[in-house]
Structure 1
């Protein structure tokens, strides 16, 4: 029976509230371990966890914990449990209560486009914030053409956005072979007739055709001088390749983040790749302009979200403030990036197999593989 006054809140609506710093109270009814591993966070969010099995017989025990002066959103894995609990709260007289439509699965998949800035000869660059998982994708738009970088598997979002910009997608690029999420780059390229680019040193085992993303590649979007210049930057993977767009923006992939640096262990090569990672960060990046705006492929915490949800930082500022760029002692650096790392991403080995084209799981299996936060940084603080 439908509860009068019970409302659903979509992941998109919740995202906008988080980015607008709206005060919210989250009642998460998933199991303790799921909540501890991955939750909805934000600067103005208060959150508690009371597993659903404690609330099956009623919500009396939590009524005094539910505020009357904030919006309340009940959250579960897929939606069903949160509908029941939210309905119980409404029936007990609680106002401004809603449930998250689609649960944490929907939260994980929502992409929020945020304009980063304009390009020198016309056009713009946009960041797509996957707020529930910390993934970041990009679209460069110029003169009716577009390139998408580090495309996520929800490819229809990019297609629809390009149409809104009256642009045809001509290129899709992956900065490296991803291990924490399933790439939509090849799928989007095949669907739109675009060229798909992948660093060749990450492509030894792929089973599909691709264009080689290396320092000899020339990729231009539109008829203006908006060049995407690849910069070989190994360390997270052996093929990791950064991109300089319009001499303004450094798309750093999973090498450099706003508050941390990339981890070298997701292909089982941590000891081998430490020197590459240090050389990229402390030598190759040092030779770049300090005025470049760093646009990473991930963020770790809600505190990295800037105005409107944009995740970015000036390269020169990161050399002053990012702990990962300020370890003068090489032994200290080696220890930091090989020991006491966060848990590896959920199903990362299988995700790498998908991104090589070796296995083709169903849509639901892909969703399950991507459950949880990204863990591409050496730390998340």
Structure 2
């Protein structure tokens, strides 16, 4: 039988459509335990490549013969070799092109909805990393929020739609992924916007993203109003787009809330985080559609792969919004999940202090997002 190639884009459709898939992951056990491809109808078998050098006969009884098998490794090479061995045994098998590195970097654009006076907002879903970024377009202009370091997909999208990228903005100083905002601003001739209270150590110029100083994209009725919302970082800033969409950064997610410890300030910032979630957000219109910068579980994905919810529904269903003050403090300062891989280096890269090469950037970002606390 012929070994087939599956791209990250094809795999993304499988995940979004909840298709059945059996994955043989041949990375080391610790890499698999830390991070894997997840989906509602995905099954896994973890067998390190070095245990298969003499053949795959010993694992055939663990691989269903009636399902397509996808072999996955870190970069592709090992998965091709194992896939060829399975094919020789008569199995229907594919390998993931580019391996987990490609899966980590793939962005799936999803249309979220219309703006009131023309235009639309799109979410770029980074399924392999749990990151979410946004493009707001109106009358030939675009704003991109919390861009990933892979700027090509945004450039291609804007070019296909005939959009001029006017603004790039980060809602906060990211600690789990390297921002592409500054790079894309430079390439596209746009203005990079950043919260000044997160900028004490940055080495670059930016337009302050401050409450009371809105951004206009396209038609004058399409406004982006920053709302100062500290807690995840001291400068975290929520963006209210067109009085319809609430881009919450890493403060509020669909099934969880943000963590305040990635700058070593958990005890200092816990009060800010609680005030943002329980007071600032509580005063906003419950009909607003919350669009976060991350998701943790595939259960948060909608039918098209989008991640969003009405603010009122989150106040009903998100356990992190139903804690008394002591419970809240414990939840966000004790028994926290592991911190993101290389998060200090990522923070310094996003400050402009480090300039790692492409391979190092990939290495720094490998792994899941860990910006959330589940109440």
Per the normalisation by structure 2, the TM-score is 0.99
CA contact (8 A) 1:141 1:221 kept: yes
Equivalent residue of 2:359, what SS?
Answer: helix
Return the alpha-carbon distance in structure 2 between the equivalents of residues 215 and 71 of structure 1: 52
Query: 1:285-324, aligned counterparts within 5 Å?
Result: 285-324=281-320
For 1:38, the equivalent position in structure 2 comes to: 35
The equivalent position to 1:48 in structure 2, one of 23, 45, 48, is 45
Query: 1:210-229, aligned counterparts within 5 Å?
Result: 210-229=206-225
For 1:260, the equivalent position in structure 2 comes to: 256
Residues 36-94 of structure 1, C-alpha deviations (whole Å, 9 max, x = no match):
10000001111111111111100011111211222210000111110011100000011
How far the C-alpha of 1:378 sits from its partner, in A, is: 1.5
Q: Do structure 1's residue 16 and structure 2's residue 13 form an aligned pair?
A: yes
The equivalent position to 1:171 in structure 2, one of 152, 163, 167, is 167
Count of aligned pairs: 375
Equivalent residue of 1:47, what SS?
Answer: strand
How far the C-alpha of 1:214 sits from its partner, in A, is: 0.6
The equivalent position to 2:232 in structure 1, one of 232, 236, 243, is 236
The equivalent position to 2:143 in structure 1, one of 137, 147, 151, is 147
CA contact (8 A) 1:292 1:314 kept: yes
Q: Do structure 1's residue 101 and structure 2's residue 119 form an aligned pair?
A: no
For 1:77, the equivalent position in structure 2 comes to: 74
RMSD: 0.9
How far the C-alpha of 1:105 sits from its partner, in A, is: 0.4
Residues 86-137 of structure 1, C-alpha deviations (whole Å, 9 max, x = no match):
1000000112x10000100000000000010111111010000000000000
For 1:373, the equivalent position in structure 2 comes to: 368
The equivalent position to 1:358 in structure 2, one of 353, 356, 360, is 353
Return the alpha-carbon distance in structure 2 between the equivalents of residues 19 and 107 of structure 1: 14
CA contact (8 A) 2:170 2:195 kept: yes
Residues 224-260 of structure 1, C-alpha deviations (whole Å, 9 max, x = no match):
4110110000000000000011111100000000000
The equivalent position to 1:123 in structure 2, one of 119, 123, 127, is 119
CA contact (8 A) 2:117 2:219 kept: no
Q: Do structure 1's residue 337 and structure 2's residue 332 form an aligned pair?
A: yes
CA contact (8 A) 1:146 1:167 kept: yes
Return the alpha-carbon distance in structure 2 between the equivalents of residues 245 and 331 of structure 1: 33
Return the alpha-carbon distance in structure 2 between the equivalents of residues 132 and 72 of structure 1: 19
Runs of 4+ in 1 over 3 A off after TM superposition: none
Equivalent residue of 1:353, what SS?
Answer: helix
For 1:58, the equivalent position in structure 2 comes to: 55
Residues 263-311 of structure 1, C-alpha deviations (whole Å, 9 max, x = no match):
0000000000000000000000000000000000000011111111000
CA contact (8 A) 1:232 1:239 kept: yes
Return the alpha-carbon distance in structure 2 between the equivalents of residues 122 and 62 of structure 1: 56
How far the C-alpha of 1:10 sits from its partner, in A, is: 0.6
Equivalent residue of 2:373, what SS?
Answer: coil
Return the alpha-carbon distance in structure 2 between the equivalents of residues 306 and 365 of structure 1: 33
Return the alpha-carbon distance in structure 1 between the equivalents of residues 212 and 189 of structure 2: 22
For 2:133, the equivalent position in structure 1 comes to: 137
Return the alpha-carbon distance in structure 2 between the equivalents of residues 253 and 357 of structure 1: 20
CA contact (8 A) 1:143 1:224 kept: no
Return the alpha-carbon distance in structure 2 between the equivalents of residues 254 and 66 of structure 1: 39
For 1:202, the equivalent position in structure 2 comes to: 198
Per the normalisation by structure 1, the TM-score is 0.97
Structure 2 segments unaligned to the other structure (5+ residues): none
